């Protein structure tokens, strides 16, 4: 099986072109492939498939390192877009990619950056899903003998966003995995910790469900900015510094699409016997 290894801000992916073949990869097989010592090693596996919808150019299936399928990955979509363009699967620089949850418009820039229209963030609790009866900008929960205040949003996948004073606080390493599996989040949740430097500049660490802490999370950056804007802490254009690099997020608020701008890099092409 041919594949391509790509990364975006250190968030790495195994990408397979499934437009010309049918693949049935088991959960166990994906988990084995994700192993960084015995397999290819990746945060997510991305399958690019043909679309039967005239309004969608390509379909992308996303699997976490544990083999579970998820429905959004901002860094992964940028890598998919660059893969599609440089493998000449399409002859234009602007096209659409859809997951099971969302249709996104991608634009390839000359510096290998990709701008993605991520659609409008979702704050209705039942659509995230989040077990709460009404929308609020702030919620609270009790974790490890302390009250945690947070915001919740879906960017096609769910995010819990927590504002902290110091992004290097060692307590974050404890809180991330616990909050991910809290019962108020029926499908588990990605947990983002945000340090606000200025209203247009933040630092972010993300614990991704089924993966652990990653070098970067594109949808997490989108979620962090969307929650920060709703909480009136951030302006409409924000620089997001992650462990692996920087993204620019633009959002004008409710009723508008959110845009993510960042790089994607092809690491190598390979063939593996499965």
Looking at the structure, tell me whether residues 252 and 130 fall in a common domain. Answer: yes
Distance in angstroms (rounded) separating the CA atoms of residues 254 and 4: 37
Looking at the structure, tell me whether residues 60 and 143 fall in a common domain. Answer: no
Residues in contact with 22: Cβ distance below 8 Å, sequence separation at least 6, in sequence order: none
Nearest to 106 by CA among 145, 76, 62: 76
Looking at the structure, tell me whether residues 157 and 71 fall in a common domain. Answer: no
- Active-site position among 60, 80, 160, 217: 217
- Active-site position among 60, 73, 160, 222: 73
- Tokens describing residue 112: 């290998």
pLDDT beyond 90 at 211:
no
Looking at the structure, tell me whether residues 19 and 105 fall in a common domain. Answer: yes
Cβ 105 vs Cβ 116: under 8 Å: yes
> What's the pTM value of the predicted model, to 2 decimals?
0.91
Looking at the structure, tell me whether residues 136 and 168 fall in a common domain. Answer: yes
Instruction: Write the pLDDT tens digit of every residue in 81-124.
Output: 999 999 999 999 999 999 988 899 999 998 889 999 999 999 99
* Residue span of the structural domain in which 37 resides: 2-117+263-271
Instruction: Write the pLDDT tens digit of every residue in 132-172.
Output: 999 999 999 999 899 999 999 999 999 999 999 999 999 99
To the query of whether residue 79 is one of the catalytic residues in this protein, the response is no
| Chain-centroid distance, C-alpha 171 | 23
To the query of whether residue 73 is one of the catalytic residues in this protein, the response is yes
DSSP lists the bridge partners of residue 259 as 117, 250
Looking at the structure, tell me whether residues 27 and 69 fall in a common domain. Answer: yes
What's the domain count of the chain? 2
Looking at the structure, tell me whether residues 108 and 129 fall in a common domain. Answer: no
* Per-residue pLDDT at 63: 94
Locate tokens 């991608």: which residue? Answer: 106
Q: Which H or E run contains 123? A: none
CATH number at residue 186: 3.10.310.10
Distance in angstroms (rounded) separating the CA atoms of residues 212 and 248: 23
Looking at the structure, tell me whether residues 180 and 224 fall in a common domain. Answer: yes
* Per-residue pLDDT at 273: 87
Strand, coil or helix: 82: helix
């Amino acid at each position: 099986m041919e594949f391509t290894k790509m990364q975006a801000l250190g968030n790495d992916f195994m990408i397979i072109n499934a437009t010309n073949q049918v693949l049935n990869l088991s959960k166990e097989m994906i988990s084995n492939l994700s192993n960084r010592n015995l397999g290819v090693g990746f945060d997510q596996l991305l399958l690019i498939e043909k679309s039967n919808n005239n309004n969608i150019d390509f379909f992308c299936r996303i699997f976490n390192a544990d083999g579970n399928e998820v429905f959004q990955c901002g860094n992964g979509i940028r890598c998919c877009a660059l893969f599609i363009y440089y493998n000449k699967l399409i002859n234009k620089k602007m096209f659409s990619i859809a997951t099971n949850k969302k249709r996104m418009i991608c634009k390839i820039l000359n510096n290998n950056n990709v701008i993605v229209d991520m659609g409008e963030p979702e704050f209705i609790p039942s659509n995230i899903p989040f077990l709460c009866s009404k929308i609020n900008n702030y919620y609270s929960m009790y974790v490890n003998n302390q009250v945690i205040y947070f915001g919740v949003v879906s960017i096609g996948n769910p995010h819990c966003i927590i504002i902290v004073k110091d992004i290097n606080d060692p307590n974050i390493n404890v809180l991330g995995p616990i909050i991910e599996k809290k019962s108020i989040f029926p499908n588990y949740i990605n947990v983002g910790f945000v340090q606000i430097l200025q209203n247009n500049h933040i630092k972010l660490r993300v614990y991704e469900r089924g993966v652990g802490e990653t070098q970067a999370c594109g949808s997490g950056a989108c979620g962090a900015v969307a929650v920060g804007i709703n909480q009136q802490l951030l302006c409409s254009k924000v620089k997001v510094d992650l462990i692996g690099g920087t993204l620019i997020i633009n959002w004008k608020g409710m009723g508008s699409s959110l845009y993510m701008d960042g790089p994607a890099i092809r690491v190598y092409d390979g063939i593996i016997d499965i």
